[in-house]
Structure 1
């Protein structure tokens, strides 16, 4: 498995905590960086380029800079073109799925409501994209 960090961007603190807990259980050796909003990650994206992320999970519905805006900015940065971006949101609206995929997301996943199902989703996604 690649050793660069996995990134998770989500404005919901509870979702970030559950994601982090699941990742520590499933992939304890995989570095994880969590960001509470688009601007905090976008700052990292332009200032900390010595180690690029291996995979980005991005929430769709965030204030200030939405997931769509963040995705657009990620895809405009040539250093990030090959990094998989997974839109990871509570929405199941097909229009949101299509829009994000059209903008360059590699996958759109609706967050599971159960912790065990979330761990299965994460295992499947990370195995598919990093192993």
Structure 2
């Protein structure tokens, strides 16, 4: 039996307050051809605490998926905190949001997001979007491999 620790996989951390969106991400990840481990946090403060704990343990995820519209700390607040933290500053952050507002896009890149993905309405299209994120970061993590297409 293989475990994630003895084969190539991608680790993701999702911060999103919407349980339905959390479940959509889980479902989209399970149908990907590459193994993905996802850790989910329902708000900015808990997500930031988890990231800081991962940084201290040197177990940061490969990529963070971050919603924008959340109570307490918005995705922008979380992103700004990440970019100010020397232990987290280089963490790849993909804003995964329903917002197509040009001001949100501008602000996300002003705060140095790595990518901005507007969630597709239809589940098959959302699976394709998540697949693109997974393939991209598998290529970054394992550049010597040729099977991420």
TM-score of the superposition, structure 2-length normalised? Answer: 0.81
Count of residues in correspondence between the two structures: 131
Asked if the contact 1:4–1:52 (Cα under 8 Å) also holds between the matched residues in 2, the reply is no
Corresponding residue number in structure 2 for 1:65: 73
Gaps of 5+ in 1: none
1:75 is matched with 83
TM-score by structure 1 length? Answer: 0.92
Match of 2:102 in 1: 94
Q: Secondary structure at the match of 2:87?
A: helix
Residue in 2 that maps onto 1:21: 27
Task: String of CA shifts for 1:73-95, please: whole Å, max 9, x gaps.
Answer: 11112222222101111110011
Structure 2: runs of 5 or more not aligned: 1-6, 140-149
Deviation at 1:31, TM superposition (A): 1.2
Does 2:48 correspond to 1:42? yes
Q: Which runs of 4+ in 1 moved over 6 A?
A: none
Larger Rg: 2
